[in-house]
Structure 1
């Protein structure tokens, strides 16, 4: 395959596009600092966060693609949302909208013909309508209960026709709404994990409670145990160590393969484990993120962590368990 010579004008064109869209974002930022749009966004967040139903996000063409993404972002961050295609809505899917829902319509011109039936439906059935548009005086803008008026900006397309800067603003405004809803709802990383159980993101958000060994799989001996019994317990389990607990199952120490090697040649295997254990083992709690537990392991140069609930032993986790889960 013939490779064309480097054409610096292409990179210049790309930079020009970035400059135009950056100016558009600066215009949106400036608009958000003005009372009209700031007040409208505040009202929109209050309605979206308080709705007992769902956020129905709709739009046509390129705005429709942005609407799909906004709905997906809201869903993944705790706001029940779905995308409704305006054409399908006019042919039977309007029934997905209930009076408990809020409709968020994305339309740059505000004159998108295909949105007409949804606008009428919202007015006739008392469904709250939020419209994001560059024209507050448009058909959609006038129909809205809340109009999020974006600044008119230049498209990056050399013909100033293809949606480029405009869709960037729509996307960023959608992200701003979604993030504000995260804060309004108090959405946590644990909540986020519930919506993202798979893949690398899910692995990063899992907690030690999801990975740790519990019950009979946890190596443990009483503090009156001998070196021999502790060695047998370590051999029976797969962690290369054993917890040392008191009569109330409180963690009082740990005995590792390294401890055994250091004392086996010079001490009697009938010695009490308390003479040779490490009295302050590194611990985490069950709600510790796996990523944080891995950091603790690296900082303390250990491959195993005991998991405690208060001062009671509740589990054990090996570095291999964390790596196997896809965290590292």
Structure 2
């Protein structure tokens, strides 16, 4: 059936958007105010499961609740809680075997009366698998058969006919985020730990470390402080990096010679000068285990004009060189 579509001139689209967002915001406020001891109990159950090292948090739901369950499972997995989604229909045709007695099942259903969930509910009861419900109906079959019910408040749906799952699914998604992030905070997860779950994509790129992108020492134009500039220029040309790093015999960084230094000292006796006469001392450096994004920020924003490379050191000893080109190619920006 095709219904006549109103044109933007027949409806105040901005007012409609604000009204919808206000309705959903009211739902989230009600959810925040309704959080009680059941949330603590859910966190405790999931934490104990994780401590056993062999359990997973299984998410399931049908329809829009199923889409939200999929997102919550993905968020859990990416923040350190082993988790995956099982479709109720597939569960009824063999995928129940993916759920073990060590797992916890989190079922999502606004009404709590979806017949498609009955097989999963029965399976958890038969094998004594912990079942957590997320529903707005405390008297539903799902809530009554669960070990713990996370109740979302009954709230007005944002659509004009009050039937399309909007506010209710927003609250489910937010409650799932609250569970995932609380569990993350309990773990004390760092950015570096987080990057282990996100090796690809933009997030994984931004969490790459300096040591992942830096040029190794063997590829760098390293010179001694007593080397004359005619020799230094040859080394710089061979390595084609645009700078030379002056190091002691033990690889302690003494200084750096850049194109700018060459221009400042250019003169009749330039080629007879030594590297220590020309070098800039105390060059800015970064540690190899720092985030590459931090190195890019230093190169782009900590000088009057951006620099193209950053020395990598550990306790003053040369480890490598981070180049802005590598950062940009890796999608760090």
Both proteins in one fold, TM over 0.5: yes
1:221 aligns with 2:223: yes
Q: What pairs up with 1:169-184 in 2 under 5 angstroms?
A: 169-184=171-186
Q: What pairs up with 1:1-328 in 2 under 5 angstroms?
A: 4=7, 6-32=9-35, 35-47=36-48, 49-50=50-51, 52=53, 53-298=55-300, 299-300=302-303, 301=305, 302-328=307-333
Change (3 A) 1:5 1:159: closer
CA contact (8 A) 2:296 2:324 kept: yes
Q: Secondary structure at the match of 2:280?
A: coil
Indicate the larger mover: 184-193 or 67-76: 184-193
Residue 42 of structure 1, CA deviation? 3.8
Residue 137 of structure 1, CA deviation? 2.9
Distance (Å, rounded) in 2 between the aligned partners of 1:263 and 1:25: 65
RMSD of the TM alignment (CA)? 2.0
Residue 322 of structure 1, CA deviation? 1.1
Q: Secondary structure at the match of 1:28?
A: helix
CA contact (8 A) 2:42 2:132 kept: no
CA contact (8 A) 1:40 1:147 kept: no
Q: Secondary structure at the match of 1:157?
A: coil
CA contact (8 A) 2:43 2:183 kept: no
Number of residues paired by the alignment?
324
Q: Secondary structure at the match of 1:269?
A: helix
- TM-score scaled by length of structure 2: 0.91
Residue 22 of structure 1, CA deviation? 1.2
Indicate the larger mover: 138-147 or 261-270: 261-270
Residue 11 of structure 1, CA deviation? 3.3
CA contact (8 A) 2:217 2:318 kept: no
Distance (Å, rounded) in 2 between the aligned partners of 1:77 and 1:46: 13
Indicate the larger mover: 92-101 or 221-230: 221-230
Distance (Å, rounded) in 1 between the aligned partners of 2:70 and 2:8: 39
Indicate the larger mover: 89-98 or 250-259: 250-259
Distance (Å, rounded) in 2 between the aligned partners of 1:247 and 1:209: 23
Change (3 A) 1:147 1:48: farther
CA contact (8 A) 1:51 1:102 kept: no
Residue 157 of structure 1, CA deviation? 2.7
CA contact (8 A) 2:38 2:148 kept: no
Change (3 A) 1:92 1:211: same
Residue 46 of structure 1, CA deviation? 2.9
Distance (Å, rounded) in 1 between the aligned partners of 2:299 and 2:17: 45
Q: Secondary structure at the match of 1:196?
A: coil
Distance (Å, rounded) in 1 between the aligned partners of 2:37 and 2:197: 34
Distance (Å, rounded) in 1 between the aligned partners of 2:330 and 2:259: 25
Change (3 A) 1:39 1:187: closer
Q: Deviations over 1:231-258 (max 9, x none)?
A: 1111111221111111111111111122
Indicate the larger mover: 44-53 or 289-298: 44-53
Aligned residue for 2:3? none
Q: Secondary structure at the match of 1:316?
A: strand
CA contact (8 A) 1:119 1:140 kept: yes
